[in-house]
Structure 1
């Protein structure tokens, strides 16, 4: 149990890994995959990028054959690429009248605003969910844990379940799960040469609590990861073995794919997985090939602003991106030094501003304070001074929302486990 506590505090989830055979099945690593690799190699050896892009378009559209027309197709539409790619494919499949798009987040943030703009441009119904108006209570969080959202980013899981709570079990839901990961968004600049190097990179990238060191002295986050690679890196790189088999499996899946509902995950279609994993690494770096596929397949959709390009279209010139980055840096400085100013809004925000919310929202403050006090009474995390973190955050001597939220989530998960043990004893 203590190992779980420590790894959860560091990662925000339990880094339980798939087994080797599970990862192979997940990615359809079989003879057909090898044949596709040879075919794609012929294209890339001849530097025929147009043919490669067309092959990618065919693979991207493969999951959208013979879709039911008597169902409501619910698509959470963010400012990123994957949900928009799904929208393009659904529209091309003739389902415009069955689609409902939904965006949730904070007004002014790109994930909240861009989805609405895209839906309006494409003429599909759209609903906005302003998360700043959604009150959070302990009972709802416990319910999330009991229904598939345990030991992950608890509030992320809570917000994602608002969708299924609204549309119910009769709808068909579409998720971009694994889209970003498979297309190269998480590739390091240089591929890790050894398993230890890959683990170090993974730990650096996946550290949830960055405001302070949450591990006791002598404990390293690498110790919670698999000791050996799951397979030869000639098949899947060490970096992606960890991303796919640990983070995507143990964390993201629990957040975005609530159990008990009809979720479609088109980026896990065998034809797409086989295609995108078999192209040479250089085409996947910075998602180059994926972006070219999307721009070619759906030119109108991807001429619109994206969060991926900091609020600009994918083809925006360098000078526009430079101006946008300067603006983002100015806003970041305002949040640090001029809280409450007109620039104190982060357009790149996911969900809500937890740092500010833990100072101003009574629902958040009550849940967090009560649970860290309960956790302190347990004595489970006696190396962290929770009262000091809370006071420093309230007094704006630092931003510790990441630490406070993971400590709260830890306590609520432990409460659910306590309750389950009691139920087991009484049976």
Structure 2
């Protein structure tokens, strides 16, 4: 049997699920005990007590059976009424209530009424205004009689005390269990927060605590985080060192070629420039999103600044639409590089580009669109891989590249806990690149 439909009603947070695990069994047990007690004990006890009262009323009626008037009947019943602590008096029919009156939540009162009407003939009305007294109206040969007696004659006081006690101690035990459970769940929440922050490119202080299994998972996370940080640092240092060491011979080559005739040295100078661009791309890819610390910035101001810088360089780019306001925790240097890469690709393969920013309560989206040839849907996964060059999809004659532009953007997006999505622009018809970051 499939229970997938039930998942939509289950809380998603670990605290809410823990509370459900604690509260649900307590509530179910209390309901089961209450139902069993009411049906098996309270109802039987109330019926027996009410039946005893009915037999007493039959005895009282026997004393008044031979009376010829109401006064004689009252005189005959008075001794036993005093003994049984019951009040009785004759009333007018106009004083009889038209219907029974019982509080809607009074379960034992309904049992009393049902027993009285079933065992006593000629019952006119049963009135139970509170827990202290019951008024019973019955018909007789001498006229209607109102019989009043203490409510405790027909129902016990213990059920109410039982329910109150059960609810009180159930609430106390639930509170104690919740406090204990919260202390057990807090290390798991801290671990989740540290993992989420690391996924967004931030390293927050974390110490493994809690139960043995949680400490084991926490220590494994710390080892993994240290290993990843060490690998990133080593990769950055290695590529930075290689790039730095290769700059010196490239500079000597450029100086040597500058002494040669321009016509002969032109092709070689272009090769040197291409090698220089390749080294710069390697260095950008090595740095990735590690450059700069996260800080609260206005993403709209950042996008506007990047677009203005591109316009000053003569690039045909504009800021199309802006939605939302607020600040987001980002690495501005890395994100600026990502936007510059997307804009550079857009103007290289198209004639113009547009940038838009959408900021909501849950996400931030940077979008760069162009009117170029775009990238086919089946090639988009390959396009974000390092050193991937899709010659059939993009016009490589319009500029040189090493296949790291989109890979750098994707790396920066993942470091912010987001993703790079490629599609087709409905506005311009070319490539649409979205950097989507969760808040």
Q: Normalised by the size of structure 2, how large is the TM-score?
A: 0.18
Higher strand share: 2
Q: Normalised by the size of structure 1, how large is the TM-score?
A: 0.19
| Higher normalized contact order (CA 8 Å, seq sep 6+, divided by chain length) | 1
Structure showing greater radius of gyration is 2
